[in-house]
């Protein structure tokens, strides 16, 4: 498989935050790690991104062991929850920044960055300052900045949680479209089950550091692994037919 997490564990001062987590993901798929806060999903993401060293276990990307690789050399980029944009640079400079370390010529880098700004519909804001644009636009700058370096894997840490509900739906659609267009493998962390259901090819549900269920959204909805998943996704509201079709939603 393209991305493989093998028996990942992480302890902080004797407390186990992630416990023996294994999963694998095919190229071009979007994985959602879903769970309530404190379940270890962001820790898992930080280990894949290289900001945390796992206490034990391995991370393989395209067959290569990247467990010990520092983030600056890892072909993985992250869209941070607070975006982490550089406030002293313009939109275009933000997007271009990563290309500097690929030894790309300035004119070429500018062209490529503009191309990615077009991809996220922001080319007219190229020369704007970071604080002159809205939160949704900032989010798209962060996405373009992470994608322009053509990472082998892109991580997103609750990227829409600072946006209002209507914008969130719009951004969600945009993200899915871009992900398909670039055939980008993505890992997306969220606590919003609707988001996960809409975006994911695979959903990983975590509870207290343990991977409770890992499957396609449909399979999870039809066959929740345990009561926690059933309750977390409000599956008691759904009534299925014997053939597997959804019969009714009972609002409780």
Partner 1 sequence: MNKPNKPFEKKTNGLKRERASSDALFFGKRSFSGPFSGRELAGYAVDRLLLAVILGSVCLFVLYPLLCIAFRSFNGKDGTFTLANYGETWAQYGTSLWNSIFVGVLSAFFCTIFSVSAALVVSTRRGWMKLLCMGILLVTMVSPPFVASLAYIQLYGRRGWITHGLLGLSWNPYNKWGVILMQSVSFVPMNALFLNGILAKIDGDSIKAARDLGASPASILRDIVLPQMKPGILVCLLLSFIRSLADYGTPVIIGGRFSTIASDIYYQLTGYANLEKASVLNMFLLLPSIGAFFLYRRLLRQSDALVQSSRGKQEQLQLRLGKCGLLGGLIGLASGLFFVMMILQYACIFSTGFIKVSKTGNRFTLQYLRQLLKTDLNTMGRSVLYALIVSLVGTLFAMIFSYYMERRKVPLRQGFDCLVTLPYMLPGTCFGIGYILAFNHPPLKLTGTALIVLANMLFKQLPTCTKICSATLKQVPLAQERAVHDLGGGQMAVLRDVILPGLRPAFLSCFSYNFSSSMTTAGAILFLIDPARKLAVFKLFDAVYTGDYAVASLIATLIILIVLAVEALVYWITGKAAKPRVS
How many CB atoms are closer than 10 A to CB 124? 10
CB of 223 to partner 1, least distance (A): 37
The answer to whether 155 and 77 are in contact (CB under 8 A) is yes
Task: State the CB neighbour count (10 A cutoff) for residue 132.
Answer: 11
Binding residue for partner 1, selected from 53, 65, 86, 236, defined by CB under 8 A: 86
Q: Does 12 bind partner 1 (CB under 8 A)?
A: no
Q: Pattern 154-193, binding to partner 1, x per CB under 8 A? A: --------x-------------------------------
Q: Which stretch binds partner 1 (CB under 8 A): 13-21, 57-65, 138-146, 203-211?
A: 138-146
- Give the per-residue contact string, 99-128, with partner 1 (x = CB under 8 A; - = no): -xxx--------------------------
> Distance between CA atoms of 223 and 240, rounded to whole angstroms?
11
Q: Supply the DSSP string of 42-79, one letter for each residue.
A: HHHHHHHHTSS--SEEEEEETTEE-TT--TTTSSEEEE
Which residue's entry shows tokens 């093998």? 6
Query: Does 38 interact with partner 1 (rule: CB under 8 A)?
Result: no
Which range in 17-25, 141-149, 177-185, 221-229 contacts partner 1 by CB under 8 A?
141-149
Grouping H, G, I as helix, E, B as strand and the rest as coil, residue 1 is: coil
Residues in 52-71 at the binding interface with partner 1, rule: CB under 8 A: 70-71
| Minimum CB distance to partner 1 smaller for 77 or for 193 | 77
Write the CA distances from 177 to 75, 173, 199, integer angstroms: 22, 6, 10
Question: Which residues are at the interface with partner 1 (CB under 8 A)?
Answer: 49-51, 70-74, 76-78, 80-89, 97-98, 100-102, 131, 142, 145-146, 149, 162
């Amino acid at each position: 498989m393209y991305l493989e997490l093998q028996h990942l564990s992480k302890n902080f001062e004797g407390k186990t935050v992630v416990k023996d987590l294994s999963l694998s993901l095919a190229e071009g798929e979007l994985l959602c790690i879903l769970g309530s806060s404190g379940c270890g999903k962001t820790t898992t993401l930080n280990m894949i991104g290289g900001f945390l060293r796992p206490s034990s276990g391995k991370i393989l990307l395209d067959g290569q062991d990247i467990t010990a690789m520092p983030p600056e050399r890892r072909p993985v980029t992250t869209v941070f929850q607070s975006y982490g944009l550089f406030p002293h640079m313009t939109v275009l400079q933000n997007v271009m920044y990563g290309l500097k370390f690929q030894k790309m010529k300035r004119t070429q880098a500018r062209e490529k960055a503009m191309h990615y700004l077009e991809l996220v519909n922001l080319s007219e804001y190229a020369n704007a300052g970071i604080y002159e644009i809205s939160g949704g636009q900032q989010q798209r700058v962060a996405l373009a900045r992470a994608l322009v370096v053509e990472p082998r894997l892109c991580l997103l840490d609750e990227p829409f949680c600072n946006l209002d509900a209507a914008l969130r739906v719009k951004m969600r659609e945009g993200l899915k479209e871009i992900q398909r267009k670039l055939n980008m493998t993505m890992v997306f962390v969220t606590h919003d089950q609707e988001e996960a259901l809409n975006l994911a090819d695979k959903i990983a549900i975590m509870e207290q550091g343990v991977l409770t269920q890992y499957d396609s959204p449909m399979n999870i909805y039809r066959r929740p692994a345990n009561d926690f998943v059933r309750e977390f996704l409000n599956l008691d509201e759904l009534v299925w037919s014997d053939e597997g079709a959804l019969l009714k939603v009972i609002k409780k």
